[in-house]
């Protein structure tokens, strides 16, 4: 069965179920139909002239990306690939021309799974392939909000307490030395 026929059979109302299937929200038997879906184009294929990590425009003579700093010779694709479930859900949403809410649900799930950068990369690839895509642009805006909120709520880095502890130690040692000297002097009078 080809992809178009499969989507026509399932209808757009089942997109939520398909995403849930791919992400493991339901029993494995419910996810079985999704396994039949194959994306018409590889969502991981980096467009020509793009950095393989951040998908920014790439200069042919550059050895590293000016945007993310990636040394092109040291790139490992597996370091930026999302899990199979998220990749399959993304391909499903893209091929089914899903609504923004469904894409945002995928983004939220990626964040919960710690794969937000990997899924954001998929949307960047999608935007390079179809510039001006309103859904892709809105999803990236939402990803920036999520990442910004995480940075704002991150606990502050612990300050080094070594200097403060050293000063306290020296004050205690000094105090004990003075008390010892006075005690020794008062005993020998």
Specify the pLDDT at position 39. 44
User: Can you spell out the DSSP letters for the chain?
Assistant: --HHHHHHHH-GGGHHHHHHHHHTSS-HHHHHHHHT---SS-TTPPPTTB-TTT--B--TT-SB-TTT--BGGG--GGGTPPPHHHHHHHHHHHHHT--HHHHHHHHHHHHHTT-HHHHHHHHHHHHHHSTT-HHHHHHHHHHHHHHHHHHHHSPPPPPP-HHHHHHHHHHHHHHHHHHHHHHHHHHT-
Specify the pLDDT at position 52. 93
Specify the pLDDT at position 5. 55
Specify the pLDDT at position 19. 57
Specify the pLDDT at position 27. 39
The 10s digit of each residue's pLDDT in 58-88 is 988 999 999 999 999 999 998 999 999 899 9
The tens place of each residue's pLDDT in the chain, 189 residues long, gives 455 555 555 544 455 555 555 555 533 444 444 433 444 468 888 898 999 999 999 988 999 999 999 999 999 998 999 999 899 999 889 888 889 999 999 999 999 999 999 999 999 999 999 999 999 999 999 999 988 887 777 676 666 778 778 888 999 999 898 988 888 888 877
Specify the pLDDT at position 42. 82
Rounded to two decimals, what is the model's pTM?
Answer: 0.63
């Amino acid at each position: 069965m080809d992809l178009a026929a499969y989507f026509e059979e399932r209808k757009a109302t089942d997109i939520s179920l398909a995403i849930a299937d791919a992400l493991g929200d339901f029993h494995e038997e419910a996810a079985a139909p999704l396994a039949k879906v194959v994306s018409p184009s590889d969502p991981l294929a980096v467009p020509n002239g793009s950095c393989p990590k951040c998908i920014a425009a790439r200069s042919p003579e550059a050895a590293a990306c000016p945007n993310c700093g990636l040394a092109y010779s040291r790139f490992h694709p597996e370091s930026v690939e999302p899990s199979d479930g998220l990749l399959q859900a993304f391909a499903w949403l893209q091929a089914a021309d899903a609504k923004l809410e469904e894409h945002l649900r995928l983004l939220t799930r990626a964040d919960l799974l710690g794969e937000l950068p990997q899924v954001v990369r998929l949307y960047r690839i999608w935007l390079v392939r179809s510039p001006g895509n309103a859904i892709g642009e809105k999803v990236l805006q939402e990803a920036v909000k999520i990442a910004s909120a995480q940075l704002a709520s991150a606990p502050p880095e612990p300050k080094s307490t070594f200097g403060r502890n050293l000063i306290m130690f020296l004050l205690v040692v000094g105090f004990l030395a003075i008390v010892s000297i006075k005690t020794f002097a008062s005993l020998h009078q």
